Amino acid sequence: MEINIVFQIAAVGILVAVLNQVLIRAGREEQAMMTTLAGLVVVLYWVVEYINTLFETVQTLFQL
Amino acid sequence: MLQCLGCILVVFATTSFGVSFVMKEKFRLQDLKEVETGILLLQNQVRYIGAPLGEVMEGIGLKLNGMVGEIFARIGSDLESRKGESGSVIWERIWMEEGRYTYLTGIDLDEIISFGKTISFLERTGQENGLDLLLISIRTIENDLQSKMSKNQKLYGSLGVLSGLLLVVTLL
């Protein structure tokens, strides 16, 4: 696992937080929520592969 | 190096997209002001001079800028050509045909087209009242637009930059 993924997730988190605040201040709460959900989906998409690898490793390790 | 250039291009593109939304509202306001000027000139002509409508519209079309001026000029020339259509039919037809080449929205065009029903049907007082009503609607829309524009300018600009950065981080 590369360290870059951590920085990418952090950058997406910061940008989504700022976008969220900007949209809420402009009175567009629905768009703010959609942006947050989109950011969450993008990060989950990156992370799901590593979670899958983690479960496989645990299965192999404990011979489940 | 190429990656850097790509990132700059993406951020520039999304920022321009945001700015174009702001410019669209600015041009809409400009078109509304042109329509307001045209209606004021028409009001003066109807109230004080009483010249034929075709001549008046052509004169107004020459004084106004952009597409709105061309629309007034075309209405004037169609009225002068006397093909048997009434003033209100000509007004409605031309605004519906040419209005989509302006920055005016459906709501603005509905207000302008509904005024057409007073042309060539009502007497002078009725036409003046119709013009007053249209001016009030246009000024209300302009005031709303102006108050929203300053807020939206910052919003769309920052949204453009932030979404560009988000895209760059996601795609890198």
With respect to residue B116, please indicate whether it lies within any of the assigned structural domains.
Answer: yes
pLDDT at B83 over 80: no
A1 — pLDDT class (breaks 50, 70, 90): low
Residue B15 lies in a domain: no
If one counts the domains in chain B, the total is 1
Q: Considering the domain boundaries, does residue B7 fall inside one?
A: no
Cα(B66)–Cα(B102) distance, integer angstroms: 9
Q: What pTM value is reported for the model?
A: 0.76
Write out pLDDT tens, residues A35-44. Answer: 999 999 999 9
> What ranges do the domains of chain A cover?
3-62
B166 and A12 in contact by Cβ < 8 A?
yes
pLDDT at B120 over 70: no
In chain B, residues with a C-beta closer than 8 Å to the C-beta of A3 are none
Q: Which of A4, A6, A8, A19 to mutate to test the interface with B (most CBs of B within 10 A)?
A: A19
> In a 10 Å sphere around its CB, with 0-12 CB exposed, 13-18 middle and 19+ buried, how is residue B34 labelled?
buried
Q: Is A8 on the interface with B (CB under 8 A)?
A: yes
**CA-to-CA separations, B56 to A16, B52, B116, in angstroms, rounded:** 56, 6, 15
The answer to whether B93 touches B60, Cβ cutoff 8 Å, is no
B150 CB within 8 Å of a chain A CB: no
Per the domain annotation, does B171 fall within a domain? no
| Alpha helix positions (H), chain B | 2-44, 53-63, 66-81, 87-98, 106-115, 124-171
